[in-house]
Chains A and B, each alone.
Chain A
């Protein structure tokens, strides 16, 4: 039982490049979330999903897109990366309305 896993762990992008972050959970959770963590700002919700095939915007959705084609996976895409998107990205899942379980994070640097 791996819990929540994220791929990749680290990535360096140049401005304008695109990439997709993958989150996978094996707990059969309905709800999944993407956050970004920046120094002094805590975690901020980017997008979330309440079930397969659904997505919704969080607090800071601009510049990101998501997809939830399978219940166990939640993808976060950056179509044209900007330096302001340098951050640590965390995925989480929950069997609502309970606590969220977090993945190990992806450290993204955009130069």
Chain B
């Protein structure tokens, strides 16, 4: 069975610091990749997605992620975080041809301090 690993469980950053959250998956076939964000008390919202093409994808709110196929990774980055980025971030992998089912990582809680 495939799995998704997010090694950073809790990250604390000061405003304006740079962010990189790691995501690795175990499946060797073709995958679609997603990052979702969950702000406190809210539902999951899509930050960005990768299906094919340019491995560097840009999402909302200044986030971007890079797909490195050889490393089975899809790390999320932001050059300068804001206090409003405080949230939980989930990486998810979708195997093609599997009814669009998502396998989620365990999430990374990001806390941005002023």
Interface on A for B, CB 8 Å cutoff?
31, 33, 40-45, 48, 50, 56, 58, 90, 92, 94, 96-105
Contact = CB atoms under 8 A, between A and B. Distances in A.
Contacts of B46: 99, 101
Interface residues of B, number: 23
B70 interface: no
Contact of A100 (B4, B9, B102, B106): B102
A97 B101 contact: no
A10 B84 CA distance: 26
B100 A31 contact: yes
Nearest to A50: B99
Interface of B: 4, 9, 32, 34, 36, 42-46, 49, 90, 94, 96, 99-107
B99 A41 contact: no
B27 to A, nearest CB: 14
B43 A42 contact: no
Contacts of B44: 43, 90, 92, 102
A45 B104 CA distance: 9
Contact of B100 (A40, A90, A96): A96
Given A102-B43, A102-B44, A58 B107 contact: no
